[in-house]
Amino acid sequence: MTSTPRTAPSPAQSPERSVLMDLMALTPSATLGRELLALVVDLALIGAVVLVIQPEMLAIAVMFGVVGMFMAVRLVAGFRTRGYSRELTGGR
């Protein structure tokens, strides 16, 4: 019986991440859809925190502003490095 030897994945390829890791990662997701899902879920989590602790309006604005800016930077980085624009035109 012969079998093929297992090889380690190439370091040039990015490892597959779970959706949970997409929510917490500093780097953009692999696809535009997952990035948009992460954006919506992160903003919903901040909304849930706001509903629970009911901080002042300034604190709410700061929380949404910080998360929104961070997610916008991730989205722009994804368009530049991951090629999200190809997904919008149907290219693979």
E strand or H helix at 36, and its extent? Answer: helix 32-53
Mean confidence (pLDDT) of the chain: 84
Q: Does residue 7 carry a pLDDT above 90?
A: no
Q: State how far the Cα of 44 lies from the Cα of 91, in Å rounded to an integer.
A: 31
pLDDT at 18: 87
Quick check: pTM over 0.85? no
Cβ atoms within 10 Å of 90's Cβ, excluding its own: 6
Residue 29: closest CA among 78, 83, 92, 91:
78
In the chain, the DSSP E strands lie at none
